[in-house]
Amino acid sequence: MALFSARTARPLALAGALVALLTACGATTSPGTQPTTTAPSVVPSSFAPVTVTLLAHDSFAVSKKLLEDFTARTGITVQVVTGGDAGQLVNKAALTAGNPEGDVLFGVDNTLLSRALTAGVFDPYVSPEAASVPSALKVATKDAVTPVDYGDVCINADTAWFAKKGLPVPATLEQLADPTYKDMLVVENPETSSPGLAFLLATVARFGEDRWADYWKSLRANGVKVVDGWTQAYEDEYSGAGKGSRPLVVSYASSPPAEVVYAADPATAKPVSEVLTDGCYRQVEYAGVLAGTKHPLEARAVVDWLLSPEVQADVPLSMFVFPAVPGTPLPKVFTEYAATPKEPESLDPALVDQKRAEWLDAWDQVMFR
């Protein structure tokens, strides 16, 4: 989830960035459920020099110093290879399951995880560092992957655009289908984009299986634009990013702090976007050891490292998501500007697994046929 690329693209569009929660510098994450525990790992603390390839979506980002420190401490050099949006990443991993192009995969989320598990993408492993991670973030993992971060997919609105037009910013999903907001919304295709899929699932959760398709018919009639992924939606179509003409976009609840961080003068900058906290969908991102890796113990060490205090503290401003480990300090810009959906939409992962293909086919019928 980060922000400029499909997230360092999430951080480079605002100069790019996004996702949200919490309330004060040093606040702790708390999705609100009791933590679970995992048996200790037998992963060594150091290795002979080796390179481990980490496959990730374009928004993955971690500081160079953290990578260098990890190599100095363990002997493992982490080679990061990015591969588009999370949906593209998972599709490719499924096609190469058992004969992977890397050793660790980061960025599969709870909207896509069941697809990866069904395809046999992962060699099951849960880091012992996840013992304190709330069980709400582990519900879909089937003990195959480790939660690393979480955030919320929400509608973002260009507040300056609405002020200039003298229009109120819409406050609900229902208002997006109102003629007042015709030709204003851009969304990502749920067949190719993880935030696009999250938004589709939000509409299923909100309107139910008997009415969600009708809602999308109303969005289509109201001029919604569909593009392939987050980068295109945010950087090319959204007016808040400077280029586009559409003042409403499916993005992340952490857009405001990202806009401040990537402003020309962060010290005086204010957020460009307002987050509609109605109809948000909670995303959890996981890391896992790829089945068929030639470096299984080293790959496990990399997964453990992603939950280390140093990496978890780096997550908010590198990828603009919330760290999975409770107690991780949050930067002031996050606690001050990140939106906090009180009741994000959610669906039972088992239901998503059962119905996702059916819902995507129905969505395609509504939007393109």
Contacts of 221 (CB under 8 A, 6+ apart): 177
Q: In the predicted model, what is the mean pLDDT of residues 115-135? A: 95
Dihedral through CA 88, CA 119, CA 79, CA 15, nearest 10? 30
Q: Phi then psi for 318, rounded to 5 degrees?
A: -95, -35
The per-residue pLDDT of the chain, averaged, comes to: 88
74-83, 258-267, 297-306: least confident range = 258-267
Distance between CA 55 and CA 223 in Å, rounded? 36
Please tell me which residue, 9 or 138, carries the higher pLDDT value: 138
Q: What superfamily does domain 152-282+343-368 belong to in CATH?
A: Periplasmic binding protein-like II (3.40.190.10)
What SS3 state is found at 92?
helix
Label residue 108 by pLDDT band (50, 70, 90): very high
152-282+343-368 has the same fold as 10-23+35-151+284-337: yes
- Number of helices (H) and strands (E) in the chain: give both, helices first: 13, 9
Q: Which fold is adopted by the domain 10-23+35-151+284-337?
A: D-Maltodextrin-Binding Protein; domain 2 (3.40.190)
**109: part of which helix (H) or strand (E)?**
strand 104-109
At residue 13, the pLDDT reads 40
Which residue has tokens 């060594």?
A: 44
Tens-digit pLDDT profile for residues 3-57: 543 443 444 444 433 333 333 333 434 344 333 334 345 688 888 899 999 999 9
Rounded CA-CA distance 194/217 in Å is 21
204: three-class secondary structure by DSSP: helix
SS3 90: helix
Q: Domain residues of the chain, as ranges?
A: 10-23+35-151+284-337, 152-282+343-368
Q: What is the reported pTM?
A: 0.79
